[in-house]
């Protein structure tokens, strides 16, 4: 019980997502956080568009690079705009987020996986038409 | 025990504070040792869970789009339809809008009416610019005979991007009412909670747009 991080400081309250409630943050530091977020997000966006348009890269790697860049930018948004942190006051927010990410991954990866297999195992549509017409 | 003492007697610290054994900090039973969190935290957390469920809804539309991306039925593909300059402009508008929304939140924290309204106004203006570009794109495609009825690819495209556009539209309406509420009611606790929720909503829309421009407009166009 006593070694739980919250018990070390009983004044640690949960923090609402999106809020920087802690008193030690000044307005100036808050604005600085948003500016850092904006710069990082702009940088990642520009790199994304460049990678997509450029023909210098090995083409099969481009979609993977784009997905990685997008996930990085989402992380930037979460940290600098929505103020999700790993501090104990954010445990609930992080857990809810982790559950959301789990469901999103299951839905997207599961759908793609199943549909990819179906596409491979089913007869192409034109052959099916021929079968039905008895040709 | 006098009446006054009876009122003070609070063994379970339900009064959150100065009862017997209380030291003025708001812990009590019901939430570990400290009692329930403040309304601001509970409302913010509930809204966060709503947003995550909204993201799950979007993930279904993303999965549909990813599966149907190549099902053009002889119609035009994304590479023929999408214009990079417009996507870049939309992305810039929404990112700057998100930033302006954060500035409005900071102005609210500083309790500055002028800057809160200015921040919200810029947020709305950029959001409106984004929506107009999207409407122009949709109109161009539909007039060219490439509406959602053209192919499965275009159905899923209009569903996904349209759903996001619908969210932005609702967000703009909410933003208008927020500006009015701040103007007429000032920085009441209730209004501050609503501002927090609006901020979360607007930033989340930008996060979803990051996924859309990557999956639909960049990967979708890749050869």
* Same-domain pairing of A66 and A96: no
Out of A67, A92, A112, the one facing B63 most closely (by C-beta) is: A112
Out of B88, B103, B203, the one facing A77 most closely (by C-beta) is: B203
* Same-domain pairing of A28 and A59: yes
Q: What is d(CA B96, CA B130) in angstroms, rounded to the nearest whole number?
A: 11
Task: Give the number of residues written for chain B.
Answer: 223
Residue A122 lies in a domain: yes
Question: Residue A22 pLDDT > 60, yes or no?
Answer: no
Q: What is d(CA B146, CA B150) in angstroms, rounded to the nearest whole number?
A: 5
* Same-domain pairing of B23 and B130: no
Q: To the nearest whole angstrom, how far is the Cα of B159 from the nearest Cα of chain A? A: 16
Residues of B in contact with A19 (CB under 8 A): 40, 44, 196
Question: Residue B73 pLDDT > 60, yes or no?
Answer: yes
Domain span at B139? 39-219
Domain span at A60? 18-83
* Same-domain pairing of B72 and B25: no
**So what's the pLDDT on residue A123?**
67
Predicted complex ipTM: 0.81
Region for residue B218 given its phi and psi (left: phi exceeds 0; alpha: psi -120 to 50; beta: otherwise): alpha
* Same-domain pairing of A36 and A79: yes
Inter-chain CB proximity A108 and B41 less than 8 Å? no
Of B62, B1, B152, B200, which Cα lies nearest the Cα of A81?
A: B200
**So what's the pLDDT on residue B11?**
55
Question: Residue A21 pLDDT > 90, yes or no?
Answer: no
Number of inter-chain CB pairs under 8 A, A vs B: 142
Q: What is the mean pLDDT of residues A101-108?
A: 95
Residues of A in contact with B60 (CB under 8 A): 107
Could you tell me the pLDDT band of residue B42, with boundaries at 50, 70 and 90?
confident
Residues of B in contact with A93 (CB under 8 A): 45, 48
**So what's the pLDDT on residue B24?**
52
Q: To the nearest whole angstrom, how far is the Cα of B2 from the nearest Cα of chain A? A: 33
Residue A25 lies in a domain: yes
User: Does B34 contact A at CB distance below 8 Å?
Assistant: yes
Residue A12 lies in a domain: no
* Same-domain pairing of A42 and A92: no
Inter-chain CB proximity B34 and A99 less than 8 Å? no
Residues of B in contact with A120 (CB under 8 A): none
Residue A78 lies in a domain: yes
Question: Residue B72 pLDDT > 80, yes or no?
Answer: yes
Could you tell me the pLDDT band of residue A8, with boundaries at 50, 70 and 90?
very low
Inter-chain CB proximity B222 and A63 less than 8 Å? yes
Give the range among A46-50, B64-68, B218-222 with minimum mean pLDDT.
B218-222
Could you tell me the pLDDT band of residue B74, with boundaries at 50, 70 and 90?
confident
* Same-domain pairing of B22 and B116: no
Give the range among A92-96, B17-21, B46-50, B52-56 with minimum mean pLDDT.
B17-21
Question: Residue B14 pLDDT > 50, yes or no?
Answer: yes
CATH number of the domain encompassing residue B150: 1.20.120.80
Identify the three-state secondary structure at position B134.
Answer: helix
* Same-domain pairing of A45 and A91: no
Q: What is d(CA A74, CA B208) in angstroms, rounded to the nearest whole number?
A: 8
* Same-domain pairing of B9 and B118: no
Out of B96, B99, B203, the one facing A82 most closely (by C-beta) is: B203
* Same-domain pairing of A102 and A73: no
Helix axes B84-109, A27-53, angle to 10 degrees: 170
User: Does B89 contact A at CB distance below 8 Å?
Assistant: no
* Same-domain pairing of B123 and B137: yes
Could you tell me the pLDDT band of residue A30, with boundaries at 50, 70 and 90?
confident
* Contact partners, residue A74, CB within 8 Å, separation at least 6: B207, B210, B211
Identify the three-state secondary structure at position A67.
Answer: helix
pLDDT in tens, B162-210: 999 999 999 999 999 999 999 999 999 899 999 999 999 999 999 999 9
User: Does B203 contact A at CB distance below 8 Å?
Assistant: yes
If one counts the domains in chain B, the total is 2
The CA-to-CA distance between both ends of chain B, in Å, stands at 84
Q: What is d(CA B45, CA A96) in angstroms, rounded to the nearest whole number?
A: 9
* Same-domain pairing of B7 and B79: no
* Same-domain pairing of A97 and A111: yes
* Same-domain pairing of B101 and B30: no
More confident residue, A134 or B43: B43
**So what's the pLDDT on residue A86?**
78
Please report where in the chains the tokens 């839905």 appear, as a residue. A107
* Same-domain pairing of B23 and B109: no
* Same-domain pairing of B67 and B46: yes
Question: What are the Cα distances from residue A44, in Å, to B101, B108, B140?
Answer: 20, 29, 29
Residues of B in contact with A67 (CB under 8 A): 214, 219
**So what's the pLDDT on residue A26?**
83
* Same-domain pairing of A93 and A52: no
Inter-chain CB proximity B52 and A99 less than 8 Å? yes
**So what's the pLDDT on residue B221?**
76
Residues of B in contact with A92 (CB under 8 A): 45
* Same-domain pairing of A37 and A55: yes
* Same-domain pairing of B4 and B50: no
Residue A47 lies in a domain: yes
pTM of the model: 0.83
Residue A11 lies in a domain: no
* Same-domain pairing of A78 and A99: no
Question: Residue B19 pLDDT > 60, yes or no?
Answer: no
Region for residue A121 given its phi and psi (left: phi exceeds 0; alpha: psi -120 to 50; beta: otherwise): alpha
The mean of the pLDDT values for chain A is 82
* Same-domain pairing of A51 and A64: yes
* Same-domain pairing of A91 and A114: yes
Q: To the nearest whole angstrom, how far is the Cα of B29 from the nearest Cα of chain A? A: 14
Q: To the nearest whole angstrom, how far is the Cα of A32 from the nearest Cα of chain B? A: 10
Contact at 8 Å (CB) between A69 and A47?
yes
Residues of B in contact with A18 (CB under 8 A): 44, 48, 105, 196-197, 199-200, 203
Q: What is d(CA B218, CA B206) in angstroms, rounded to the nearest whole number?
A: 16
Give the range among A81-90, B31-40, B62-71 with minimum mean pLDDT.
B31-40
If one counts the domains in chain A, the total is 2
Question: Residue A38 pLDDT > 70, yes or no?
Answer: yes
């Amino acid at each position: 019980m006593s070694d739980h991080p919250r018990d070390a400081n009983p004044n640690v309250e949960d923090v609402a997502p999106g809020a920087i409630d802690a008193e030690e943050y000044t307005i100036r530091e808050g604005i600085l956080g948003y500016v850092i977020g904006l710069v990082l997000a702009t940088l990642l966006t520009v790199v994304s568009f460049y990678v997509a348009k450029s023909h210098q890269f090995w083409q099969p790697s481009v979609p993977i690079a784009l997905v990685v860049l997008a996930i990085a930018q989402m992380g930037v948004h979460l940290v600098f705009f929505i103020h999700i942190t790993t501090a104990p006051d954010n445990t609930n927010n992080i857990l809810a987020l982790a559950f959301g990410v789990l469901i999103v991954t299951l839905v997207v990866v599961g759908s793609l996986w199943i549909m990819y297999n179906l596409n491979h195992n089913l007869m192409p549509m034109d052959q099916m038409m021929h079968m039905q017409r008895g040709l | 025990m006098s009446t006054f003492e009876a009122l003070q007697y609070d063994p379970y610290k339900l009064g959150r504070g100065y009862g017997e054994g209380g030291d003025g900090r708001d812990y009590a039973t019901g939430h570990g040792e400290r009692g329930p969190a403040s309304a601001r935290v509970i409302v913010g957390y509930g809204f966060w869970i709503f947003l995550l469920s909204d993201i799950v809804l979007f993930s279904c539309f993303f999965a549909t789009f990813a599966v149907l991306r190549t099902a053009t039925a002889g119609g035009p593909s994304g590479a023929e339809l999408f214009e990079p300059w417009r996507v870049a402009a939309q992305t810039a508008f929404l990112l700057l809008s998100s930033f302006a929304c954060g500035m409005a939140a900071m102005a609210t924290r500083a309790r500055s009416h002028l800057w809160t309204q200015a921040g919200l106004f810029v947020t709305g203006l950029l959001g409106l610019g984004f929506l107009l570009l999207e409407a122009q794109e949709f109109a161009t495609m539909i007039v060219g005979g490439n509406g959602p009825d053209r192919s499965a690819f275009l159905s899923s495209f209009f569903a996904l991007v349209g759903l996001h556009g619908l969210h932005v539209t609702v967000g703009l309406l909410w933003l208008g009412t927020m500006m009015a509420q701040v103007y007429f009611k000032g920085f009441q606790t209730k209004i501050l909670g609503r501002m927090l929720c609006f901020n979360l909503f607007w930033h989340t829309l930008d996060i979803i747009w990051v996924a859309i421009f990557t999956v639909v407009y960049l990967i979708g166009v890749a050869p």
